[in-house]
Every structure is written in C-alpha cells, then in structure tokens.
C-alpha cells in the first residue's frame, strides 16, 4: 500500500516536471526563432552601420548557443524522467 502511494507520487511528480519542461522548451524555441530572425535581419539588411551588423551577428551567435543549451537540458531532463518508468 505504501509503495503504491509512493509510486503514485513519483508519477505525479514526473508528470509535473514533464509539463514544466514542455512549457519552457516551447518558450525557449520561440525566443530562439525571434532572436534568429532579428539577428538575420540586422546582419543581412542594407544597414550601413557596422555596429548594428555586429549586433545582429551577436544575436545569431547567442541564439545558437541558447539552442544548444536548451537541447542538452531537455535531453537530460527527459533522461531523468525516464528513470521512474524503468523502476
């Protein structure tokens, strides 16, 4: 009886973490797409100011780094979530 209740709590906690992870991932991808778009427009646009073009390049670099970190973080969280299902 106690083990069943404990497993129920673990599955509820895993579901909560999964929901939070999904929401954060959606927000992160949205911010990535916005940063990528703005950076591409600033870097590739016909703007004669070098500092603006460099800022666009910085946006692109930061967006790629953020995408990599979010992908790694999501993978780690998904791996941790799969552990209770295996027990």
Residue 58 included in any domain: yes
Domain presence at residue 6: no
pLDDT tens string 62-84: 888 888 887 788 778 778 777 76
Half-sphere exposure of 49 (CA within 13 A, CB side): 5
Q: Which domain holds residue 65?
A: 28-74
Q: Per the domain annotation, does 34 fall within a domain?
A: yes
Q: Is residue 50 part of a domain?
A: yes
Confidence (pLDDT) at 7: 64
pLDDT, tens only, 24-62 = 778 878 888 888 888 888 777 787 888 888 888 887 888
What's the CA gap between 63 and 34, in Å, rounded? 9
Which of the four pLDDT bands, split at 50, 70 and 90, describes residue 16?
confident
DSSP codes, 7-61: HHHHHHHHHHHHHHHHHHHHHHHHHHHHHHHHHHHHHHSS---HHHHHHHHHHHH
Residue 20: inside a domain: no
Asked if residue 37 is part of any domain, the answer here is yes
| 85 pLDDT above the threshold of 70 | no
Our count of domains for the chain comes to 1
């Amino acid at each position: 009886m106690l083990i069943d209740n404990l497993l129920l709590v673990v599955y509820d906690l895993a579901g909560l973490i999964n929901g939070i992870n999904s929401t954060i991932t959606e927000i992160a991808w949205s911010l990535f797409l916005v940063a990528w778009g703005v950076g591409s427009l600033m870097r590739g646009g016909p703007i004669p100011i070098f500092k603006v073009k460099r800022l666009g390049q910085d946006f692109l670099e930061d967006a790629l780094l953020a995408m990599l970190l979010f992908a790694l973080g999501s993978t780690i969280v998904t791996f941790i979530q799969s552990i209770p299902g295996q027990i």
